[in-house]
Amino acid sequence: MLAFGVTVDFMDEYLKIGETTTLRSLKMFVKAVVSIFSKEYLRKPNNDEIARLLAVGEKCGFPGLLGSIDCMHWKWKNCPTAWHGMYSNHIPEPTIILEAVASYGLWIWHYFFGLPGSHNDINVLDRSFIFSDLAQGLTPTVNYTINGHNYAMEYYLADVIYPQWATFVKTISSPQENKKKYFVAAQESVRKDVKRAFGVLQARFAIIREPARFFHIKTLNDIMMTYVILYNMIIEDERDDNEEEEFEYDQLAESTHDPVSTGPTPEFSEFIQRHHALRDRKIHCQLQADLVEL
């Protein structure tokens, strides 16, 4: 059912397993996978991994880049009739949204699932916890210089709907100059990493290509989380077998960032400052302009 998306009736005819036993086994399996492997395969990047992500971003022409962010809609076949309006938007059928951050190696570093399909990417971002650690000062300090300007905050590539925050680098609508056209082509090329991750995820597990047949959001969340965990396992295994794709990170790992601070934010005022800093529109525009000139 996970790999091929077959129905419960097929399992009864092919393997002679009853519907109740099949559904119970599937639910127990996904709960076990989430309980045992979620801390390892849904973790946030550590110091060494951040150094690798920054090295890959710099090699692609985006110093300070940690990955690309986007949302995917999963159709919900058995959505209760009373909820159809809440879970439907530009897609006529009810959907559930998955927000994810993927890197160049297609590893999914951030997972947020469960909001109704009527939300857009901005609504999902407002409910997401992607920047909670950054606002609390629990992330490594990243320092880099572009075009003579110093920056101390990593960022993600995003499409045009996302807000103009210091943590996002978006494309430019209707670019006129050659430099801006080149930047748009480079930004959209690298930003496709998260789209590729969604495509590979659906290719690995055919059930995601088909509408979800379960009735409860909690069960669907466990299933989707299991998909992402198993997907990251496969990515890790294939990455270990392809050493030629590795970049030279040693020098960057030593000097790019400081150790992670695991203590709480000492003052509430610092939290407010960080909260406003990651939403700084001026830094967003300056960073975009510097990357265009890079």
pLDDT tens for each residue of 33-62 = 999 999 999 988 888 888 899 999 999 889
Cα-based angle 271, 46, 260 (whole degrees, multiple of 5): 40
Tokens matching residue 234: 């496969």
Res 87: pLDDT: 93
pTM over 0.95: no
Question: Is residue 111 within 8 Å of 225, Cβ to Cβ?
Answer: yes
Res 242: pLDDT: 57
Cα–Cα distance between 99 and 103 in angstroms, integer? 14
Res 200: pLDDT: 92
Nearest-CA neighbor of 70 among 49, 101, 45? 101
Instruction: Dihedral sign for Cα 154, 43, 34, 106, please.
Output: positive
Amino acid making up residue 276: H
Q: Where are the alpha helices (DSSP H) in the chain?
A: 8-15, 19-41, 47-59, 121-127, 132-136, 178-204, 217-241, 250-255, 268-277, 281-293
Res 10: pLDDT: 80
Tokens matching residue 131: 């920047």
Question: Is residue 63 within 8 Å of 104, Cβ to Cβ?
Answer: no
Domain boundaries defined on the chain:
44-293
Average pLDDT per block of 10 residues along the chain, 294 residues long? 80 80 90 94 88 90 93 92 89 91 92 93 92 81 86 91 93 88 93 93 86 90 93 87 50 44 59 85 92 88
Cα–Cα distance between 222 and 133 in angstroms, integer? 24
Residue whose tokens read 């809440």: 86
String of DSSP letters for 260-274? PP-SPPS-HHHHHHH
CA–centroid distance for 38 within its chain: 15
- Classify residue 126 as exposed, middle or buried by CB count within 10 Å of its CB (0-12, 13-18, 19+): exposed
Question: Is residue 102 within 8 Å of 67, Cβ to Cβ?
Answer: yes
DSSP state of 177: S
Question: Is residue 181 within 8 Å of 175, Cβ to Cβ?
Answer: yes
Cα–Cα distance between 223 and 65 in angstroms, integer? 30
- Classify residue 36 as exposed, middle or buried by CB count within 10 Å of its CB (0-12, 13-18, 19+): exposed
Res 251: pLDDT: 45
Nearest-CA neighbor of 252 among 45, 58, 44? 58
Cα–Cα distance between 207 and 214 in angstroms, integer? 12
Question: Is residue 53 within 8 Å of 190, Cβ to Cβ?
Answer: no
Res 148: pLDDT: 87
